[in-house]
Amino acid sequence: GVITGIGFIGGGAILKHGTSVYGLATAASIWNAGAIGLATGMGRFNIAVVLSVINLISLLVLRRVDKADPDQLPDKDESGDGC
Fill in the DSSP letter of residue 79. S
Q: What is the pLDDT of residue 23?
A: 84
Are 24 and 18 in contact by the 8 Å Cβ rule? The answer is: no
Q: What is the pLDDT of residue 34?
A: 92
pLDDT per residue as tens, the chain (83 positions): 788 888 888 888 888 888 888 888 888 889 999 999 999 999 999 999 999 999 999 989 888 877 766 565 555 555 555 55
Burial class (CB in 10 A: 0-12, 13-18, 19+), 13: middle
Burial class (CB in 10 A: 0-12, 13-18, 19+), 10: buried
Q: What is the pLDDT of residue 35?
A: 93
- Rounded to 5 degrees, φ, ψ at 20 are -100, 145
Q: What is the pLDDT of residue 1?
A: 79
